[in-house]
Copies of this chain bind each other. A is one copy, B any other.
Amino acid sequence: MNLLVVGTVAFDAIETPFGKTDKIIGGAATYICLSSSFFTNKLNLVSVVGEDFPKETIKMLQNKSVNTSGLQIKKGEKTFFWSGKYHNDMNSRDTLDTQLNVLENFNPIVPIELKDSEFLMLGNLMPSIQKKVLDQMTKRPKLIVLDTMNYWMDHFIEDLKESLKEVDVLTINDEEARQLAQEHSLVKAAKIILSMGPKCLIIKKGEHGALLFNNDEIFFAPALPLEDVFDPTGAGDSFAGGFIGYLAKTNDISFQNMKRAVIHGSAMASFCVEKFGTQRLTEISQEDIDARINEFTNLVKF
């Protein structure tokens, strides 16, 4: 099934207790595509970069079967840049610099042949931009997954609530769930959020795993206990990519299959954090993924 991924392709500069990078490749859609590419080769990207973005990286994505016909390259402009520093516990970070650049006036254009994509992943972006993509679809996708963050809840909550009415699965972290629902209990917060529109909610709890809610059921996926979390950047996007990639591959959006998709997403996130940036996602093999899924299975089996 065709999977359409919309989100940022960017430069990041990251500092963690383990080290520091110069400008490296980042962006939600980059992580999502790399992660999804292990599950489907009908993968299509809608995003924007500046003239400064390396051709080799676009080539690398294409080599992973990512169709980049929806990737706008803005002449004379610069790519979105984010820089951040993680605290010692790796659960929190400070943003050191944000340069929107091409993102400031990003007008996403879905190529005509992708307007009927069956699977749509709206990566973390300004809600009004996510909405513009929804409005361009000529056929209601079989599954729409939306990722967002606290910043949009702080400043564009009404736009976000509009989009939420149209999506199937929302992925946010625990603090964002509490903020969106204005409720501390995650179980109660999930009920409130599901009443806003999404059929399913995934609450990502980082090292504490992820919860998948629908109206009647809860599923819990653990995080793999790792010796070191080297760099958490992109873990949530890698999760989303594995999740929707697995669903697109299997073309089964039942709750039972979503559970398996959450485990696959968790596996992809567990790889992502092992090295800086996207590096680990470009190294691993299908065998590595299979072995890790096995580890997840054994971790909770009793």
* CB within 8 Å for A227 and B302 given contacts A205-B208, A208-B205, A209-B222: no
**A89 with B184: in contact, given A219-B302, A260-B302, A302-B260 (CB under 8 Å)?**
yes
Instruction: For A188, give the chain B residue with the smallest CB separation.
Output: B227
Interface size on A, residues (CB 8 A): 29
A232 CB to nearest chain B CB (Å) = 13
Interface of A is mostly: mixed
Give residues in A with beta carbon < 8 Å to B: 88-89, 184-188, 205, 208-209, 211, 218-222, 225-228, 256, 259-260, 262-263, 299-302
Instruction: Decide: A219 near B299, CB < 8 A? Known: A205-B208, A208-B205.
Output: yes
A37 CB, min distance to chain B CBs, angstroms: 23
One complex includes copies of this chain to the number of 2
* CB–CB B88/A184 < 8 A: yes
* Contact call B211/A208, Cβ cutoff below 8 A: no
Q: How far is the CA of A219 from the CA of B299 in the complex (A)?
A: 5
Looking at the complex, which one of B186, B222, B227, B301 makes contact with A225 (CB distance below 8 Å)? B186
Contact residues in B for A221 (Cβ distance below 8 Å) = 300, 302
CB of A86 to closest CB in B, whole Å:
12
Contact B220 A299 (CB under 8 A): yes
Which chain B positions have C-beta within 8 A of A208? 205, 208-209
